Structure 1
């Protein structure tokens, strides 16, 4: 198992991996990633079997989070030798979650962007990216799965290329590193099994919680001081696009069998709508990007009916959110419960009105005790 191999190698080697890999094949242009290993000592990564971490929850949750607000960059053409990178975007109010995920995975760094109210969780180190790919392999459900496949094939090609090289030979671009140690490092990595998309029932794991933390919300709207309208909403773009000049040298037959160029998100979003007993909607709008407008088309799952709201509540009670949306969900779910038991009353209306003063974009009080729910 690649994930077990990653952990076992780290915990059985007595020295920090300062001489990890420093050539253009596997290292990005930022040399400070090597310094991070030296200063932080990568051996501190907890073992996978750590009973305090719920990996059954973590792995599908991370897959959903990446499919919603993440990117996996894999070089093509002249950049084919540059190692893959994984990035995730977080609103600044969710910084505690980003820090927590970094802490338990020991992957990447957090960077506050100079403009905008968000930060990036960036993974650009060879072993960290390998570890993250190991975590999410087999749990992705959307067309973005093809980027994962390209990243896994890149690692498989690299491992197969270097693991059997004579450790006493001098390799081009490796003059500045400990060649025998670096080659031996490759021998401790397993190639990835290219797992297909997860087609298990949506209520079987936390994937939907991850993608909701990325792209979903829970709304409470008030109508003419008489009625409360409750919504669960999830919006994703309609089509997945990727560069067409892919040049992967190995296992292309397997890879091509699972990649669809420009594939639609329709099937996945239809499945979510069906799961919550609601309809799927679509919309298109012009969005200004830099100095030009582009048409953005998306699919929207909107749950408003009584039975659907009950199903939403059942799922997120079973698989809790981890971002600050958890706090919004708990307030939202409380109103759902009140209306179920007492109906639309003046008291329930006043309660909803009060909750909305500290809710979604108006929330100014945050607690993060719910992250302990992530632990076993």
Structure 2
């Protein structure tokens, strides 16, 4: 399926005025070929179906023999979160390496969650509203590379990671590394998001959004628009984003107004209930409160509470604004 992608444009969406999509019919005109540069050897990769942390656990036991190892569930979540919000810093100096995850101060708890589970790294403040989890020591950076190597899903992330790994291996070849750190052979497996691990939960914590809006109709009643949105940059990642269509068997891909930005969107009350099972079993961290408020409000809308009277409709409309509260800096 790597040479096809379901793509419904924003123009098509507006033109058909689907304010509350519960079922979306697709036909051949909605399926387009992806350019060869996007496919980029995906068809020929080793078909490894699950995350593998064997190399990481082996190295972790040597470097931190007295520390508890991070669980596989946490690592699956972490990779999804990192692919959304993390970055590897490529310093100009040959012997300088770093990995960072940046969050608004309102979400600083997730950085402590990461640090506590991994058992290394530091958390620093950057300005009034920003906190960062940073890994810079050679041993710790080495462990991070082992976590990510062969376990990344997004093609663009793999590309950036390989550049960083090549730099690290080049530095190792100079003989300046510690005895515990060795050459890392780059791995690139054909992993896909699945509904039986925490990767989607982590990725949603970084890039997901649960929204409800209520619009006043010409008849004086309120209509609701319920959406779950996963957004991602770079066309090379579209095959992964489109895979959510196969996983949840609902939704569509929509290009953003900003160039080279895309979203996977589930719209409509019935359709969004299809993701409950996953997120109820694989808990969110940063988006947990938003998800719970979103889900509770969907139940009220399903019970048609917004149609009881105008005052109740206004009350529910106010609740929609509480799903994703503004951050401390007003954003």
TM-score, normalisation: structure 2: 0.70
Gaps of 5+ in 1: 13-42, 163-173, 175-182, 240-263, 286-295, 365-376
Q: Deviations over 1:34-57 (max 9, x none)?
A: xxxxxxxxx6xx232xxxx5x222
CA gap of 1:317–1:193, structure 2 versus 1, over 3 A, is: farther
Counterpart selection for 1:218 from 206, 210, 222: 210
Query: What is the match of residue 72 of structure 2?
Result: 56
For the 8 Å contact 1:63–1:136, the answer to whether it is kept is yes
Tell me by how many angstroms 1:151 deviates. 3.3
TM-superposed CA distance for 1:331, in Å, is: 1.1
Asked whether the 8 Å contact 1:89–1:119 carries over to 2, the reply is yes
What is the deviation of 1:59?
Answer: 1.6
> Given the alignment of the two structures, is residue 230 of structure 1 paired with residue 207 of structure 2, yes or no?
no
Equivalent residues in 2 for 1:16-31 (5 A)?
A: none
Per the normalisation by structure 1, the TM-score is: 0.62
Question: Any stretches of 5+ residues in structure 2 without a counterpart?
Answer: 1-53
Distance 1:83 1:236, change over 3 A: same
Q: What's the offset of the Cα at 1:108? A: 2.1
Over aligned residues, Cα RMSD in angstroms? 2.9
Deviations 1:199-238 (A, max 9, x none): 2452132222222111211112112252332111121113
**SS of 2:214 mapped into structure 1:** strand
- Listed as ranges, the matches of 1:120-139 within 5 Å are 120-139=132-151
Does the aligned pair in 2 maintain the 1:111–1:121 contact within 8 Å? yes
Larger Rg, first or second structure (1 or 2):
1
Q: Deviations over 1:299-344 (max 9, x none)?
A: 0112113443122222211211111x2101011112234444x346
The answer on whether the counterparts of 2:225 and 2:268 sit within 8 Å (CA) in structure 1 is: no
Identify if the C-alpha distance between structure 1 residues 352 and 107 changes in structure 2 by more than 3 Å, giving closer, same or farther.
farther
Give the Å deviation of 1:298: 0.7
Query: Aligned residue for 1:282?
Result: 255
Aligned to 2:58: 5
Give, in whole Å, the separation in 2 of the partners of 1:299 and 1:66.
Answer: 18
Q: CA deviation at 1:80?
A: 7.1
Whole-Å separation in 2 of the counterparts to 1:158 and 1:362: 44
Following superposition of structure 1 onto structure 2, how do residues 74-153 of structure 1 map, counting pairs within 5 Å?
A: 74=90, 79=92, 81-114=94-127, 117-142=129-154, 143-153=156-166
8 Å CA contact 1:59, 1:139 repeated in 2? no
Q: Secondary structure, in 3 states, of the residue corresponding to 2:255?
A: strand
Pair 1:310-2:273 in alignment: yes
Partner of 1:72: 88
The 8 Å contact of residues 220 and 352 in structure 1, kept in 2 or not, is answered as no
Tell me which residue corresponds to 1:28.
none
CA contact (8 A) 1:60 1:140 kept: no
Greater relative contact order (Cα 8 A, min sep 6): structure 1 or 2? 2
Paired with 2:170 and 2:253, the residues of 1 have a C-alpha distance of 40
Displacement after TM superposition at 1:122 (Å): 1.6
The 1:203–1:193 alpha-carbon spacing in structure 2 relative to 1, beyond 3 Å, is farther
Q: Is the 8 A contact 1:216 1:233 kept in 2?
A: yes
Aligned to 1:139, what secondary structure does the other structure show?
A: coil
CA deviations over 1:5-32 (Å, ceiling 9, x no partner): 33222345xxxxxxxxxxxxxxxxxxxx
Query: 2:238 maps to what in 1?
Result: 266
